[in-house]
Amino acid sequence: MKILVIPDIHNECEKVDLIIEREQDVDLIVLLGDYFDDYFDEPEDAMKIAHWLKNKVLKNPKIIPLMGNHDYSYRTWAYNEDLACSGFTLYKHNVIKKILKERDWRKLKYHCIVDGVLYTHAGCTQQIVPKEIKDLDSLDSFLKKDERFFNRKIVKKLINGQNIPSIFRAGRSVGGGAPVGGLIWCRSYEFESLPFVRQIFGHTVQGDPLIYESGDICMDTQLRDYAIVTNGMPEFKKTCI
């Protein structure tokens, strides 16, 4: 399968549209999340992105949109150490919630596995995975179980910061309460690979895509790069737009 992978977007939806138009021969498009927030942005920027997500991304069957930490804040609307991040404002939240409803947020995924590669926003580090999990199918089941829990309990539990699964928590390195960050918070310097799966993620800004010795890849270069992954093998391309 030929997959277009686009890392952290941060309001740059026009650039993403041009990349997608350029790479029309792909079978699937994976967006690594962080659609919202940028330096000095305004509620009008949040409105633009929310409409783009709802009317363009979520209606395109070829796109798998993943959730980032900058999106998670606006879904949960609870401002505490594990649910909000820099850039979050109530002004933007109030604009976004008028456009994106819970049924829309549920279409954003926290992980996907295609051709044996695990895609998340920030990486699934070994420290948050139970030791008894030793293969990709078991990992997929574990992540899906916690994601279902999150979706069921999002209002009653997470608003109070209670019972947040480790895969959603922010690590201490960014002011959170967990030892390390989960799927949407893990930093590249705290990431430890899983021996049975190769991963592609974003979240931590790099000068160029960071390729670990394990073959895992962190590719948030502020949208200077994207990737075409063919049968699990990545080729990086410059955006140049």
Q: Where are the domains of the chain?
A: 2-238
> For residue 105, how many other CB atoms are within 10 A of its CB?
20
Residue 230 is predicted with a pLDDT of 96
> For residue 211, how many other CB atoms are within 10 A of its CB?
14
Architecture of domain 2-238: 4-Layer Sandwich (3.60)
pTM above 0.85, yes or no: yes
Q: What is the pLDDT along the chain (241 residues), one digit of tens a residue?
A: 999 999 999 999 999 999 999 999 999 999 999 999 998 899 999 999 999 999 999 999 999 999 999 998 888 765 454 566 888 888 999 999 999 998 999 999 999 999 999 999 999 999 999 999 999 999 999 999 988 877 776 655 555 555 677 888 888 888 888 899 999 999 999 999 999 999 999 999 999 999 999 999 999 999 999 999 999 999 999 998 6
- Determine the Cα–Cα distance for residues 84 and 73; give it in Å rounded to an integer: 5
Backbone angles phi, psi at 153, to 5 degrees: -105, 5
* Amino acid in the structure at residue 12: E
- Determine the Cα–Cα distance for residues 200 and 32; give it in Å rounded to an integer: 9
pLDDT tens digit string along 64-87? 999 999 998 888 765 454 566 888
Residue 79 is predicted with a pLDDT of 47
